[in-house]
Amino acid sequence: MTGTEASESTPVRLSVTDAVATITIDRPHVRNAVDRTTAMAIEQALDEVDSRDDIRVCVVTGAGGIFSAGMDLKAFNESGERPIGTTRGGFGLVERPSVKPMIAAVEGKALGGGFEIALACDLVVAGSSAQFGLPEVKRGLVASAGGVLRLPQRVSRAVALGILFTGDPISADRAAELGLVNEVVADGAALAGALAWAERIAANAPLALRAVKQIADSSPDWASGESFTRQRPIADAVRASQDAAEGAQAFVQKRVPVWQGR
């Protein structure tokens, strides 16, 4: 296991165990609200995740039983500071998440930017009393860190606009009904649940995982008549890889494949 400890100047912890990285926002004294320093730390952690071949999946969570209250409104009010990274946009990830599968482990409240961070992830595991919401309109703001853009892609337009127009939160169970949450677990078990998902995912071929995410993220922008043509070079590169040959050989030999990411 490797890791970095959070500190006052770098309030984010990164740990890696068995091909799974865990990024923890560690500012519980402000409900894990994100200021610019924190956004930059998240961005740097994701840069490391993407650069390391030994990492296949990334879990994002918050310390102290709360995911994130979103933007640090105190910092915004005092200096106009916004939590925007240099290369990955708001909260250090919403414009350019990791190229690897990302799982949000949500306890407590994921409001505003906290919900937008979760929406930037591929899967969500939530504690039973978790809440999700985009209350920006209640503060004279717009959920511009992916909330208005991503939510209507995940649920029906009417449901998305109901959440966006009212600013009212929804429960974990309701989020699961809407398809926004993959699994609801007991309070306090979200991280363990997310890590269980991550372990199952990390057992699979890393090149294939990245290709699946690339196609799933890119294909909504492809013209329907071009979809298979646009998909082909991505899938063909995986099919021609050493990992594909290893997968077939391991199946024939009835053993666990040993992936090389090549």
Q: In terms of domains, do 27 and 156 share one?
A: yes
Q: In terms of domains, do 170 and 188 share one?
A: yes
7: left (phi over 0), alpha (psi -120 to 50) or beta: beta
Cβ atoms < 10 Å from Cβ of 168: 12
Catalytic residue among 8, 81, 95, 136: 136
pLDDT in tens, 167-211: 999 999 999 999 999 999 999 999 999 999 999 999 999 999 999
Q: In terms of domains, do 113 and 211 share one?
A: no
Alpha carbon separation from 230 to 208, 221, 242 (Å, rounded): 16, 11, 22
Q: In terms of domains, do 186 and 247 share one?
A: no
Q: In terms of domains, do 189 and 217 share one?
A: no
Q: What is the DSSP pairing of strand 131-133 with strand 109-111?
A: parallel
Q: In terms of domains, do 158 and 233 share one?
A: no
pLDDT in tens, 105-144: 999 999 999 999 999 999 999 999 999 999 999 988 899 9
Asked about 226 being catalytic, the answer comes back as no
Count of domains forming the chain: 2
**pLDDT of 1 over the 50 cut:** no
Q: What is the pLDDT, as a whole number, of residue 246? A: 85
Q: Residues 183, 125: contact at Cβ < 8 Å?
A: yes
CATH code at 68? 3.90.226.10
Inside any domain, residue 260: no
Of the pLDDT bands very low, low, confident and very high (cuts 50, 70, 90), residue 155 is very high
Asked about 43 being catalytic, the answer comes back as no
Q: In terms of domains, do 147 and 126 share one?
A: yes
Q: In terms of domains, do 214 and 84 share one?
A: no
Inside any domain, residue 188: yes
* Structure-block tokens of residue 67: 């995911």
The predicted model scores a pTM of 0.91
Owning domain of residue 219: 206-253
Q: In terms of domains, do 173 and 242 share one?
A: no
Inside any domain, residue 24: yes
Catalytic residue among 81, 116, 199, 246: 116
Sign, Cα dihedral of 182, 186, 191, 197: negative
Inside any domain, residue 225: yes
**pLDDT of 239 over the 60 cut:** yes
Inside any domain, residue 259: no
pLDDT in tens, 10-21: 799 999 999 999
Inside any domain, residue 179: yes
Higher pLDDT, 259 or 175: 175
Inside any domain, residue 185: yes
**What percent of the chain is modeled with pLDDT above 90?**
77
Q: In terms of domains, do 90 and 215 share one?
A: no
Q: In terms of domains, do 42 and 164 share one?
A: yes
Q: Residues 46, 33: contact at Cβ < 8 Å?
A: no
**pLDDT of 79 over the 80 cut:** no
Q: In terms of domains, do 225 and 96 share one?
A: no
Inside any domain, residue 261: no
